[in-house]
Amino acid sequence: MDFVILSLVMLAIGVYGLLTNRHLLKVFISVELIATGATLNFVTLASAMGKGLGEAFLILAFSTDTAVSAVILALLVIVSKKYGTSDISEVMKLQENDSEVEE
């Protein structure tokens, strides 16, 4: 039961981070907290059922989460190099200016 509470706390911290942060790296960390909390919840509930299902969920979750993290980090690097900032609102303003100039 303690792990379920821990996963819910991690989900809550991740959602709070998504709602309050404007820096791309902090948003990425918040998304990772949400994914880790959800993974912990699934693994805890699956291992309570037994039969090794929790371990299978863990391996699947780690592999997919690693792939998603690599893609997000690559996009974060591309955006920060292209626009020179990591602030979401500034990137959106610069992107709108780019689309207006191209038209």
The domain containing residue 82 runs over which residues?
Answer: 2-102
Instruction: Kindly tell me if the per-residue pLDDT of 100 is higher than 70.
Output: no
- The span from the CA of 3 to the CA of 35, in Å, is 15
Overall number of domains in the chain? 1
Q: Look up the CATH number of the domain holding residue 39.
A: 1.10.287.3510
pLDDT tens for 9-66 read 999 999 999 999 888 888 889 999 998 898 888 888 887 887 777 788 788 888 888 8
Reported residue count of the chain is: 103
Long-range contacts of 70-73 (CB under 8 A, 24+ apart): 72/28, 72/31, 73/28
b/e code 49-63 from CB counts within 10 Å (16+ = b) = eeeeebeebbeebee
Strand, helix or coil for residue 87: strand
